[in-house]
Chain A
Amino acid sequence: MTTEVGSETEVKKEPEQAEEQPQTQAETEQQPEQQLVDGKQEQSAHSTDLKQAEEEQNTQESPSTQQKDTTAASEQVSPAPQEGRAGVEKREEQPGSKGIARFLPPWLKKQKSQSHVEQKKSQMKEGETTENQIQEKEEKSPTQSPSKQQSIEKEGEEARKDTSVEEKEENLIQDHQQSKQEETKVDEKEEEKLSISSAETQPAKEDQKEDVVEKDSDVKVEDKKEEDTIQNTEVKTDRSIQKVPKKMKTFVCKVTLLDGTEYPCEVEKRAKGQVLFAKICEHLNLLEKDYFGLTYRDNADQKNWLDPAKEIKRQIRSLPWQFAFNVKFYPPDPSQLTEDITRYFLCLQLRQDIAVGRLPCSFVTHALLGSYTLQAELGDYDSEEHRHDYISEFQFAPTQTKELEDKVVELHKTHRGLTPAQAEALFLENAKKLSMYGVDLHHAKDSEGVDIMLGVCANGLLIYKDRLRINRFAWPKILKISYKRSNFYIKIRPGETEQFESTIGFKLPNHRSAKRLWKVCVEHHTFFRLVSPEQPPKAKFLTLGSKFRYSGRTQAQTRQASTLIDRPAPFFERTSSKRLSRSLDGVHHFTFPRSKSEGTGTKELKQLQAPAVSATEQILQQDFSAPAVSDLEVGFKDKEDGKEPGSPYKPTLSPESKSLEEEITTILLSKEGFSTASFAGAFTFPTKRAARGDNAKTATKAVSLAHYIESSKKAPSRTEEVHPDGRDLAESTEKLKSEMGREQEIDTQETMANEETTKMFTVSQRSESPSVAAKPAEGGEMKTQLREKKEETIVVRDVSTSSDSESEEEAEYRPQVARKDVDQIKEEPEENEHLPVRSLASTVHVEVKVPVEEKKELEEKIEKGGMLGEEVYCTTAEEREEPKVNGDVSHIDTDIVTQVICCSEPPVVKTEMVTISDAFASQKSEISTKEVPIVHTETKTITYEAAEVDGTGDSEPGVLMTAQTITSESVCTTTTTQITKTVKGGVSETRIEKRIVITGDADIDHDQALAQAIKEAKEQHPDMSVTRVVVHKETELTEEGDD
């Protein structure tokens, strides 16, 4: 059966799973009961599978011990739930063959069960219900069955398991026949179902955590077919090719739609957000999808947007695969939307916003909007049909009074004759005038600690205190947006009478919220203000901090694309908003209106998208599997994905392969007061994200350098806290500007030169890389390259996901600072990213050569500069150049990030960084040679003037007192300690930089090793504070087999 296939893959992946398991334990615990049942059943059915499964399980679940067998069984079940399972179970059950038929939809079950993953016990019940529903649906919809069968057949073929197919078909038939036969045995069935669901559930959980191969490609195919026949065909083709050779693991995402229903959607483990999003839009038959997005709630129950360009898994981490489909960009003029269906979804969102109070309305507006809702959903008022309580099921306002309902009814009567679309259009015409329409609010404090709200909208940034608007910054007024730790900064264009820009800082509750706000701002600005999205600062050296950019279409683009929509108005069913209140009912709706228009809709969609969609998107759509290479994030993570075994088209396959992650961590401890004071205790991560060029083919441009530099420089001056000593803004600003100019030039020039040097490095590294590639499974060998000059690079490999350590929250990015500095290359994993530890795989080798002396200076600079904003987003396009590198490709591929180091000049320092991506990673389409790792090297020499150097305002470079380097090694770590004492402006500063290289294969818990290293560093210098931690991870992706 199919299960076998799954099992194989699973086996391969054991090692990883084992590591991850500990995390999963909690989840596994749930399994016991349910699994037992499953296990029994399946065991009997497939002995071979069981064995395999058991083996796997044992290794994996050793922590949980007790239920190894059962678990194993359950897992197996889960892997091939659709076909094999169904068949198997049915067989088993056949003896009692009562409701076997019902089992047909097992995959469906799976989906749901998985989605429930974290709802441990509740899952059981849900699973049951789900199954029941599914069954019902199947029974009811005879049409589906044929398609299913076909799909099954296809799968079977693909899987090369004819038998399974046949069985399935049989099962199907049986199901239909039997479906309503025996109700007496319902209980039994339910039990079975439960067991199944549980089993399925497990896998999902495991998957979440790591690579458990639960579902074969086949499974996916089936699911899709059921859901979208059309899609499936296309998808399948792609997948089938990919899948056959390698099996992708899939997850079931539960997506709460705007009508309150929950839609289970299966995606591959490594799928990027856009894959899921595309599926949802397809399901909804939505073409104008750029206004929408998916959200998930983090542990703090904060709503986060799922970044379409990044892997889902990396974004949600251990969170449940639970999403919500929401409007992301509220069109200022909904009447300009092309399709009614788009307006319908916007209406649903607004109703929701109103009901929860997110969109405040006056009484009259509540009533009017409510009346349009009634008209749209119920049609003309009918005194007989619409008794007075007919509206009490609707929610028109956060607090709904009888008076309001009466008013709604009164107004409803006046809308006679309006079609649903008309009523919705009127609804939107009124809703769009509301002052809070489309305003995304974020809690913050102003510079004086007063609670305020920051509202991001189409026009700019609004500042509220209580409900009062106290300030407003239109996008054109904002020169730059940045955040550092929990601070969020906007740089304001000087007014007519003003000479200098001003920077306004806000304090967000935490780092994450600051970053979240920053991202929302970047996205809104891009969407509403730009004609086309900016290229993320990829592959540039200077890109520090988040490289996040909005990657979708802008409003202008989406409008243009919408004009190309050429389809008859799609039919869609307006689900009653009542459903919102009946959440239970809604949850289980499997049937979606979409089915009707599916066929055409889908095709059209694709056609539409094709032209307008960026290359990246297209690619993504076609290969889901494309191992999630996060383009935007240039960070380490990308590399994992990036390494694709070989064929560019089958990136998907590789994703499963292991990834080795290496982290390079630099811990700076400093004992002085000035800059550190506020940060004491907190880790500061100068996160630089190494820019990842695509496969390093092209030299990185200095594009964003200027701008980053700018920001870094300016930032210091802005923040008063940070730089007590800072000079006047004006001065610093001016200097900065002038300097910036210089820097840019310099950078470019040097970059070229550096490339050459880089190559050299690359070569050396390459030699190593091959070996790594060869042993992907083991974790690549990490190579740390210490530079002669006492630079230490720490490479940590993390196989496991990182724990979100507390440190993350505290982490600080000083991307900008880093730039100035020589060696710090930091790559941030996207969101997690702030913590080095967390980020999963990325492979980056960084080499830095720095003469010792130079280095010291660099460090100094770093500190001074350091306090600046972490991530900067300049609204002015001018600042960025775009790398010509295969832009699109780069997104897709992972690869190597190059970073540039700036050296300060009083002494001119040359820093060179070399980033090597794994051979595999680099391979992608771009590079012909697979084995050769691509290296991007960029060298930069920057001369700073003393004044400038101290961005802070300290003009004194500082005098180097002493410097020493100590190196120690342990099993898997190499620690190099450099102690520098300098005197600056009368303040003696001792700076200790430790470079810890953690090398190991998958067996090593890199996170732990890193944590340990940091801990030790802290312990060794209790009187010092950690000012920065830079982590580089290198991960190697291996092929599936390796897993």
Chain B
Amino acid sequence: MATTFAFGKYTHAVVRAIPDTFGKKDGDKNEQGAELDLAKAQRQYGVYTGILRQKLGLQLIEIPADSGLPDSWRVEDIAIVQGDTALITRPWSASRRKEVDAVKKVLEELKLRIVEVTDQEATLDGSDVLFTGREFFVGLSSRTNHKGAEAVADTFRDFAVSTVSVHGSAHLKNFCSMAGSDTIVIGSSDGAKKALKMMEQLTDHHYEILTVPDDAAANCIYVKVGSNSNYLLHRSADECPESAAAFQKLPDYTLVPTACSEVSKLGGTLSSCSLLINRKLEL
């Protein structure tokens, strides 16, 4: 259903452990040119999953790492889940398409309605899909094309699915995310501003906008815990010093600084490391 009231409510989180081959495959570039610290990445991953489980109370489903799939920790790219429907994507990177199997299996176990992208011309990374609770925005990026966006529209027919151009190699959610059912967090780069402008034009709704200086900080995880507790996982002040303060503007939120500096070197974000699922539909 077009249930907006349940936005942010989740029961499960699907994650995948960081393999030893973390960052060693081509595909993803090390954005900052910095050295990758596998151990640190795995530590951060551990903290991350701990937050999901303990702070947010989600049931964690962890898919074992697969060293043959160095990017497999980015489970967000592999599926788009809304309600009880999961769209299994067709990642742009052919090498990542094998990641689908394990994720699909988990989602099937969760009794989700599984839909797969059948169009062989479609490419779709889940990180390019922003669900606001009312509608979808699909970033047309270097990774996601029009056909991929169509798959989203075909799958989630109740919702408007709008396309937003994303410039550069980043995914849509590299510079934006939801910080509440009506709030979009957006970075300050030109690309982010353009995309936001487009989204504002495309939507029938009015969203509150929370602008943060860093694009990286704009990717958060919003979870509603219990009946009325808003949790927001955001980049820590250490990682995004200029942006941390901005989150203080959110009233009545429990802010949870979360580190993901290592994965972010590969273009990863907080949200890209998990798939959040609400299996107890209110309807």
Does B150 belong to the interface (CB within 8 Å)? yes
- CB pair B157–A468 under 8 Å, yes or no, is no
Within 420-444 of A, Cβ neighbours of B (below 8 Å) are at: 430, 433-435
Contacts of B153 on A, CB cut-off 8 Å? 466-468
Nearest CB to that of A433 among chain B residues? B2
User: How far is B149's CA from A467's CA once the two chains are assembled, in angstroms?
Assistant: 9
Residue of B nearest to A369 (CB): B1
- Measured CB to CB, the nearest residue on chain A to B283 is A368
Chain A residue numbers with a CB within 8 Å of B163 are: 465, 468-470
Q: Does B146 contact A (CB under 8 A)?
A: yes
A604 to B114 alpha-carbon distance, docked (Å): 53
B228 CB within 8 Å of chain A:
no
Instruction: Tell me how far the C-beta of A428 lies from the nearest C-beta in chain B, rounded to whole angstroms.
Output: 12
The A-contacting residues of B in range 147-180, CB under 8 angstroms, are 149-150, 153-163
Residues of A within 8 A of B4 (CB): 433
List A contacts of B157 (CB < 8 A).
Answer: 360-362, 365, 434, 467
Stretch in B73-81, B196-204, B230-238, B257-265 with 4+ CB within 8 Å of A:
B196-204
The answer to whether B40 has its CB under 8 Å from any CB of chain A is no
Q: Which of A368, A459, A466, A470 contacts B1 (CB 8 A)?
A: A368
Q: From the candidates B84, B156, B202, name the one contacting A472 in the complex (CB within 8 A).
A: B202
CB distance from A479 to the nearest CB of B (A): 16
- CB pair B1–A364 under 8 Å, yes or no, is yes
Contact assessment for A471 and B158 in the assembled complex, using a CB-CB cutoff below 8 Å: no
Q: Is the CB of A362 within 8 A of B202?
A: no
Contact partner of A435 (CB less than 8 A), chosen from B149, B155, B160, is: B160
* Pair A468/B156 contact, Cβ less than 8 Å: no
Contact yes or no, B201 A472, CB < 8 A: yes
Nearest CB of A to B83, in Å: 6
For the residues of B in contact with A, the DSSP-based class is: mixed
Residue A363 at the B interface, CB < 8 A? yes
- How many B residues, CB 8 Å from partner? 28
Task: Indicate whether B85 reaches chain A with its CB closer than 8 angstroms.
Answer: yes
Contact with A along B3-32 (1 / 0, CB 8 A): 010000000000000000000000000000
Least CB distance, A681 to chain B, in whole angstroms: 36
Contact bitstring A399-435, B, C-beta under 8 A = 1, else 0: 0000000000000000000000000000000100111
Contact of A365 among B1, B149, B201 (CB under 8 A): B1
Query: How long is the Cα–Cα vector from A269 to B11 in the complex, in angstroms?
Result: 65
- B66 interface hit (Cβ, 8 Å): no
Chain B residues closer than 8 Å to A472, beta-carbon distance: 162, 201-204
Asked if B116 CB lies within 8 Å of chain A CBs, one says no
How far, in angstroms, from A466 to B149 measured CA to CA in the complex? 10
Q: Does B138 contact A (CB under 8 A)?
A: yes
* Residue contact B162 to A470, C-beta cutoff 8 Å: yes
List of A residues within 8 angstroms of B138 by Cβ: 468
In the assembled complex, B55 has its CB within 8 A of some CB on chain A = no
Q: Mark B211-223, 1 if CB is under 8 A from A, else 0.
A: 0000000000000
Contact B161 A364 (CB under 8 A): no
Q: Give the chain A neighbours of B105 by CB distance below 8 A.
A: none
Candidates B1, B154, B159; contact of A430 at CB < 8 Å:
B1
Whether B135 sits at the interface, judged by CB under 8 Å, is yes
CA A400 to CA B146, docked complex, whole Å: 28
Q: Taking the complex as formed, is B113 at the interface, i.e. its CB lies under 8 A from any CB of chain A?
A: yes
How far apart sit A406 and B271, CA to CA, in the bound complex (Å)? 36
Cross-chain contact B158 with A365 (CB below 8 angstroms): yes
Determine the residue in chain B with the shortest Cβ distance to A472: B202
**Which residue of chain A has its CB nearest to the CB of B4?**
A433
Q: How far does the alpha carbon of A688 sit from the alpha carbon of B180 in the complex, in Å?
A: 53
| Residue numbers in A under 8 Å from B204 (CB-CB) | 459, 472
B158→A361 contact, CB < 8 A: yes
Query: Which of B2, B83, B203 counts the most chain A CB atoms within 10 A?
Result: B2
Counting chain B CB atoms within 10 Å of each CB, which of A363, A430, A435, A465 scores highest?
A435
B203 vs chain A, min Cβ distance (A): 7
Q: Which residues of A contact B161 (CB under 8 A)?
A: 435, 467-469
Report the bound CA distance from A430 to B157 in whole Å.
Answer: 13
A469 touches B2 (CB 8 A): no
Are B160 and A362 in contact, with the CB atoms below 8 A? Answer: no
CA distance A434 to B146 in the complex (A): 22
Q: Which residues of B contact A360 (CB under 8 A)?
A: 157-158
Chain A residue nearest in CB terms to B84? A364
A168 vs chain B, min Cβ distance (A)? 57
Distance from A334 Cβ to chain B, minimum over Cβ atoms (Å): 14
* Contact between B203 and A365, CB atoms less than 8 A apart: no
Q: B58 → chain A, closest Cβ, in Å?
A: 22
Can you list 10 A-B pairs, Cβ within 8 angstroms, ordered by A? A364-B83, A365-B2, A435-B135, A435-B161, A465-B146, A467-B154, A468-B146, A468-B161, A469-B162, A472-B204
Q: Told that A361-B158, A435-B161 touch, could you supply 14 new A-B pairs with CB distance under 8 A?
A: A360-B158, A361-B157, A364-B84, A430-B1, A433-B1, A433-B2, A435-B158, A465-B163, A466-B153, A467-B150, A469-B162, A470-B162, A470-B202, A472-B162
Closest 7 CB pairs of A and B: A433-B2, A467-B153, A435-B160, A360-B157, A469-B162, A362-B158, A362-B157
